[in-house]
């Protein structure tokens, strides 16, 4: 009878077996037992896969029988959740340490059963055992349950902690119940007090908290809030790190040794102080309001405020019904507005004399625009000197309601220079008709010529001697004509206004002169170039370019369609980008290139995508849902047992790989099983791979050579030698 082996791989030798080697095999068995009781081994974990720990019968080698050891430390850097298995049938105790790096789980289990899992940050040691089916946690790595019994803390046994009442912890000191914890509450029992140099808590609720030590400051630092049902008395300064809540609707904050200054809370109203409110800065989240609706004054004649700062868009309201407002328009100025609806009036700004004795030519007020650096010198502009209201809505300096005049002086007899008529015309009234533009003390002026017909006056040349006019004869042709000299103007300038050139019929042609090659749409300098050129041909025809079209902007965009839903954008140094999920189609809409989602390029064809090249290089995973038809050879990398060249999608550590030159190898569960080389099929590990199983047998075996085996089983009987050749011949038929 041949030797047999236990689940730990210990050899149980048959009677008369192993003559001359019994001592060696016994020593091996003792080594196996030692490793099972106290052996330590470190095992690298396959990242994101399954690491199978095995036991080899009669083999005490550490690397081939890791699952036999008592203490196993799992090591390595993992980049995915990983699994470590031991054989199902082994019944033993394990101490397992998760020594891996990486924020991923590691499961320790039997090959077919369940087990325990180390969390992503659980780099600890667990005591477990295998019951022959599953890995079970021994329970020493979790919480300690003392089932409400009393925990004694000191030598004489009178200082204890107990939780014999559900959801309640009692602290006993020197044999007396002093303190009690319940849900969200810490209570000092009768005869006990709470005294502290510094109080740190999230929430403290008590009938009264008294700081008894007057020699140091009382400091309370809280992460949440400090609440008391009674009072809080502190002899020194109290520092609260967060909220201080006075829960009474009539709570009072008292200040001073005799509490002579108080701040009192009036429920749903506000705070009242019996002293004088003083502050360097007042910050309010909504509004600071007076005690009464009217009669409150901001400052006094003896105590004046200095400056008033109003934020962008700030509004000052006037009147009981706030019908007049003065609004700040950011970067523009102030807007005076009548917002009332009762009378529909517009607001007015009145300059009133200090007494009632007003002469006919008295100046009631002046408005100046003052240069910030030069002051109100001789160049200051007087806007409204001597203008008086004659009737509602009209102004005049000559007592008629026809015009607004700007004069050289404040008297009625002063010379009128500029008038705005009742019809809205701006008139330059002077014996000198020259229009002057000033820059400091220098100016450029010109005299306006007489214009007629469809004429537009253009600014003169730099010396002010001539100007040009743009005319049309009614036939749709625009032309330049000299106004006062033959000097031609080259530019059309409109300032900030938009320009539209339209015809009722025919074309608009921009014809470059001889020797020119381009028509350029450009601003006045390189910093103000045209940013967009739109060809709107939705109503008629199409745009035709007989030569090159250049978009010089590094971020130029071509827009297509009435709603411009399709764009082609230039990315500097990279190429052109088609927006969104729009497609670039060929032949018809069934052949296209697009991106249906960020990070994905779609190439669609209704029949076939043909790529003709010497080499097609795909860097990444090739996902093919259909049949792969190869007209030539398919070549793959050598691969390894843990990552074979050819494997199943759901089982990446089992399959076919090339372990050496002219050698084909097969692995299962990341472990090499057998190889096929020239003239031989061999297992990778001696005495490790079975040919068939007890339930899945090969039918017939044909051998033209020698059959080597240690034991020959014939009809259920093991034979290690040919005791009876006749019986063997009969058994073999």
The answer to whether position 448 is within a domain reads no
Cite the DSSP H helix spans in 9-93.
22-38
How far is the first Cα of the chain from the last one, in angstroms, to the nearest whole number? 24
257 in the same domain as 156: yes
Q: Is residue 36 part of a domain?
A: yes
Same structural domain, 109 and 44:
yes
Number of H helices, E strands in the chain: 2, 54
Q: Among 577, 604, 631, which residue terminates a domain?
A: 604
Counting the structural domains of the chain, the total is 4
* 583 falls within a domain: yes
CA-to-CA distance for 262 and 272, rounded, in angstroms?
A: 8
Domain identity same for 70 and 170: no
Shared-domain flag, residues 21 and 132: yes
224 and 248 in a single domain? The answer is yes
Task: Answer for the pair 543, 536: CB distance below 8 angstroms, yes or no.
Answer: no
If DSSP codes are grouped into helix, strand and coil, which group holds residue 443? strand
Q: Taking Cα atoms as reference points, which of 617, 616, 626, 623 lies closest to residue 600?
A: 623
Q: Which residue has the tokens 């400051």?
A: 217
Residues 157, 197 within the same domain:
yes
Length of the chain: 733
Instruction: State both tokens at 407.
Output: 């004069």
Does any domain span residue 668? Answer: yes
Q: Residue 33, SS3?
A: helix
Domain boundary (82, 104, 137) is at 137
Cβ–Cβ < 8 Å for 109, 136: no
Q: Is the domain of 116 the same as that of 36?
A: yes
- Does 673 reside within a domain? yes
Answer yes or no: is 391 within a domain: no
Integer Cα distance of 210 and 241 in angstroms: 18
CB atoms within 10 A of CB 102: 17
Is there a single domain that holds both residue 155 and residue 133? no
Whether pLDDT at 601 is above 60: yes
Same domain, 132 and 170: no
Q: Report yes or no on 542 lying in a domain.
A: no
Q: List the one residue out of 200, 152, 8, 174 whose CA is nearest residue 91.
A: 8
* pLDDT digits 0-9 by tens, 435-469: 555 555 555 555 555 555 445 555 555 454 444 45
Q: Are residues 159 and 48 in the same domain?
A: no
Q: Write out the two tokens for 702.
A: 């044909």
Residues 14 and 108 in one domain: yes
| Beta bridge partner(s), residue 173 | 176
pLDDT band at 385 (very low <50, low <70, confident <90, very high): very low
Contacts with 218 (C-beta within 8 Å, 6 or more apart), sequence order: 197, 198, 199, 211, 234, 235, 236, 237, 238
Between 36 and 64, where is the model more confident?
36
Domain membership of residue 73 (yes or no) is: yes
Owning domain of residue 600? 557-604
Kindly report, residue by residue over 655-713, the tens digit of the pLDDT.
Answer: 898 888 889 989 999 899 889 998 899 898 888 888 888 889 888 888 888 888 888 88
Q: Which of 273, 288, 307 is the last residue of a domain?
A: 273
Give pTM, 2 decimals: 0.31
pLDDT at 231 over 60: no
The structure tokens 């050891």 sit at 69
Same domain (yes/no): 122, 29 = yes
Instruction: Pick the most confident of 281-285, 308-312, 453-457, 508-512.
Output: 308-312
């Amino acid at each position: 009878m041949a030797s047999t082996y236990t689940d730990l791989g210990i050899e149980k030798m048959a009677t008369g077996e192993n003559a001359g080697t019994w001592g060696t095999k016994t020593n091996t068995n003792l080594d196996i037992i030692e490793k099972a009781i106290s052996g330590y081994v470190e095992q690298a974990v396959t990242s994101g896969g399954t690491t199978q720990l095995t036991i080899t019968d009669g083999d005490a080698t550490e690397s081939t029988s890791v699952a036999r050891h008592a203490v196993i430390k799992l090591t390595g850097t993992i980049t995915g959740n990983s699994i470590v298995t031991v054989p199902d049938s082994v019944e033993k105790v394990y101490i397992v340490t998760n020594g891996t790096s990486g924020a991923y789980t590691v499961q320790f289990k039997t090959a077919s059963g369940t087990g325990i899992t180390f969390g992503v940050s659980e780099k600890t040691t667990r005591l477990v055992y295998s019951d022959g089916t599953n890995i079970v946690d021994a329970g020493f790595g979790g919480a300690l349950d003392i089932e409400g019994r009393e925990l004694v803390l000191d030598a004489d046994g009178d200082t204890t902690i107990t939780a014999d009442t559900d959801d309640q912890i009692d602290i006993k000191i020197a044999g007396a119940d002093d303190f009690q914890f319940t849900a969200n509450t810490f209570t000092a029992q009768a005869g006990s007090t709470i005294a502290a140099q510094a109080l740190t808590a999230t929430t403290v609720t008590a009938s009264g908290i008294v700081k008894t030590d007057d020699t140091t400051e009382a400091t309370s630092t809280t992460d949440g809030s400090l609440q008391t049902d009674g009072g809080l008395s502190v002899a020194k300064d109290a520092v609260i790190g967060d909220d201080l809540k006075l829960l009474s609707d009539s709570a009072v904050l008292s200040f001073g040794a005799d509490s002579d200054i108080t701040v009192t809370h009036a429920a749903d109203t506000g705070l009242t102080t019996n002293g004088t409110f003083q502050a360097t800065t007042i910050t309010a989240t909504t509004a600071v309001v007076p005690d009464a609706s009217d009669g409150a004054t901001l400052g006094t004649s003896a105590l004046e405020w200095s400056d008033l700062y109003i934020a962008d868009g700030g509004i000052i309201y006037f009147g009981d019904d706030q019908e007049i407002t003065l609004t700040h328009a950011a970067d523009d100025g102030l807007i005076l507005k009548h917002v009332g609806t009762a009378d529909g009036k517009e607001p007015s700004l009145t300059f009133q004399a200090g007494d009632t004795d007003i002469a006919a030519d008295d100046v009631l007020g002046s408005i100046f625009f003052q240069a910030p650096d030069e002051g109100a010198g001789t160049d200051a502009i007087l806007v409204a000197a001597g203008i008086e209201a004659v009737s509602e809505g009209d102004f005049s300096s000559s007592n008629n309601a026809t015009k607004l005049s700007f004069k050289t002086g404040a008297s009625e007899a002063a010379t009128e220079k500029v008038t705005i008529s009742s019809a809205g015309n701006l008139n330059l009234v002077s014996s000198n008709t020259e229009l002057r533009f000033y820059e400091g003390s220098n100016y450029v002026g010109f005299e306006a010529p007489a214009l007629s017909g469809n004429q537009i006056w253009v600014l003169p040349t730099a010396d002010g001697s001539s100007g040009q006019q743009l005319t049309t004869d009614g036939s749709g042709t625009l032309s330049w004509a000299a106004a006062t000299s033959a000097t031609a103007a080259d530019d059309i300038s409109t300032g900030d206004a938009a320009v539209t050139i339209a015809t009722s019929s025919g074309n608009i042609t921009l014809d470059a002169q001889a020797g020119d090659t381009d028509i350029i749409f450009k601003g006045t300098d390189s910093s103000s170039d045209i940013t967009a050129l739109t060809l709107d041909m939705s109503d008629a025809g199409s745009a035709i370019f007989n030569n090159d079209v250049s978009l010089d902007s590094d971020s130029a965009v071509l827009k297509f369609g009435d709603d411009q839903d399709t764009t082609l954008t230039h990315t500097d140094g990279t190429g052109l980008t088609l927006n969104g999920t729009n497609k670039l189609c060929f032949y018809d809409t069934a052949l296209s290139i697009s991106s249906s989602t960020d990070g994905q390029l779609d190439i669609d064809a209704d029949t076939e995508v043909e790529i003709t090249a010497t080499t097609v290089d795909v860097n990444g995973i090739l996902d093919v849902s259909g049949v792969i038809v190869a007209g030539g050879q398919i070549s793959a990398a050598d691969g390894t047992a843990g990552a074979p060249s050819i494997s199943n999608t759901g089982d990446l550590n089992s399959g076919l790989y090339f372990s050496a030159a002219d050698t084909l190898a097969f692995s299962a569960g990341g472990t090499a099983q057998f190889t096929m080389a020239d003239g031989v099929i061999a297992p990778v590990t001696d005495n490790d791979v079975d040919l068939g199983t007890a339930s899945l047998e090969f039918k017939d075996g044909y051998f033209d050579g020698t059959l080597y085996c240690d034991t020959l089983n014939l009809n259920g009987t093991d034979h290690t030698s040919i005791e009876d050749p006749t019986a063997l011949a009969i058994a073999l038929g």
